[in-house]
């Protein structure tokens, strides 16, 4: 048996021993495809998410950015708010998620746009308190592939006197490719 094979077997045995003998406070468990040990992700499964608290939005907001540190495929784009936003065709919010590329010049939308991405009464939908509002992803699968170094941005646009979006969080779900 070569030295590399013996070292590999030795380290695998040590890791297995650690996982089998780790105290309960250091081995937190296998949660949604991630093995968490001492508060750090050791093993990452397929489905992952990044959540970013934004705070209260009272006017059009741009500049919520997510940078891809690996090649990923977007599997979900969502927001959560602590207030209800009732659908209204005059006072509403519209949303867009765009792949800006690695130079900021990209303009590929990641969601189905138009009224579906609003809180309009006609074609849009409400935002319910403490419930996840998911956006319909584009049907073009290639557009959901984000390469390492590319940035996606989230824009919220206020129309007329829409009620404030209070304490919202923005969620990006993805898998590594």
Burial class (CB in 10 A: 0-12, 13-18, 19+), 109: middle
Q: What is the pLDDT of residue 54?
A: 92
pLDDT in tens, the chain (177 residues): 555 555 445 444 444 344 444 444 333 444 444 444 444 444 455 788 999 999 999 999 998 999 998 999 999 999 999 999 999 999 999 999 999 999 999 999 999 999 999 999 999 999 999 999 999 999 999 999 999 999 999 999 999 999 999 999 999 999 998
Phi, psi of 114 (to 5 degrees): 70, -155
**DSSP code for 96:** E
Alpha carbon distance 62, 119 (integer Å): 18
Q: Which CATH architecture has domain 48-176?
A: Sandwich (2.60)
What is residue 143's three-state secondary structure? helix
pTM assigned to the model: 0.74
CB 97, CB 135: distance < 8 Å: yes
Alpha carbon distance 113, 115 (integer Å): 7
List, in sequence order, every residue forming a beta bridge with 158; answer none if it has no partner. Answer: 93
Domain definitions of the chain by residue range: 3-44, 48-176
């Amino acid at each position: 048996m070569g030295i590399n094979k013996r070292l590999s077997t030795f380290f695998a045995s040590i890791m297995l021993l650690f996982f089998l003998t780790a105290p309960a406070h250091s081995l937190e468990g296998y949660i949604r495809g991630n093995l968490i040990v001492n508060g750090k992700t050791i093993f990452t499964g397929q489905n992952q998410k990044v959540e970013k608290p934004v705070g209260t939005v009272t006017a059009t907001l741009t500049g919520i950015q997510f940078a891809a540190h690996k090649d990923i495929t977007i599997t979900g784009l969502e927001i959560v708010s602590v207030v209800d936003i009732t659908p209204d065709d005059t006072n509403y919010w519209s949303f867009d998620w765009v792949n800006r590329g690695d130079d900021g010049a990209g303009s590929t939308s990641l969601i189905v746009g138009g009224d579906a991405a609003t809180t309009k009464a006609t074609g849009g939908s409400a935002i319910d308190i403490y419930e996840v509002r998911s956006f319909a992803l584009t049907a073009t699968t290639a557009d959901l592939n984000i390469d390492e170094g590319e940035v996606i941005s989230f824009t919220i646009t206020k129309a007329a006197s829409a009620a404030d979006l209070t304490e919202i969080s923005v969620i990006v779900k993805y898998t590594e490719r």
